């Protein structure tokens, strides 16, 4: 079992919302850095630079724990029509959105 599969399995046991996520492929280290920057800067512009909320809701593990992980992935990829939440499918793949959700649910890295 790979480290990423082990990590997701352990997180799924601790966070019920992650149980719906299939095994998440780890992006390359360089891509992870880009995705962390995207979340901190682009998502942070609405969800707060520390992800504690702003125009958009907080993206902290406690706020996401009861949310289905696949719904969070769909929100990232497709946005939410009628709200300020845009679709991000032009900038990241669905697997990358899954990785972001897993990280958000576990406590997003610095």
Considering the four listed CATH numbers 2.40.110.10, 1.10.760.10, 1.20.1440.230, 1.10.10.10, the one that applies to the domain covering 3-106 is: 1.10.760.10
CB-based contact 102:24 (threshold 8 Å): yes
User: pTM, whole model, 2 decimals?
Assistant: 0.78
Mean pLDDT confidence for 13-33: 71
pLDDT range class, residue 21, cuts 50, 70, 90: low
**Cα 84 from Cα 79, distance rounded (Å):** 8
Where along the chain do its domains lie?
Answer: 3-106
Could you tell me how far CA 30 lies from the centroid of its own chain? 17
Q: Tens of pLDDT along 27-69?
A: 999 999 999 999 999 999 999 999 999 999 999 999 999 999 9
- If one counts every other C-beta atom within 10 angstroms of the C-beta of residue 13, the result is 10
């Amino acid at each position: 079992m790979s480290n990423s599969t082990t990590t997701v399995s352990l997180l799924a046991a601790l966070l019920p919302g992650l149980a719906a996520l299939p095994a998440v492929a780890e992006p390359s280290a360089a891509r992870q850095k880009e995705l962390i920057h995207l979340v901190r800067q682009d998502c942070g512009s609405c969800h707060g630079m520390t992800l504690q909320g702003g125009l958009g809701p907080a993206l902290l593990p406690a706020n996401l724990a009861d949310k289905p992980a696949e719904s969070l992935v769909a929100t990232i990829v497709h946005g939410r029509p009628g709200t300020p939440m845009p679709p991000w499918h032009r900038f990241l793949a669905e697997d990358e959105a899954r990785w972001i959700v897993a990280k958000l649910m576990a406590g997003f890295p610095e």
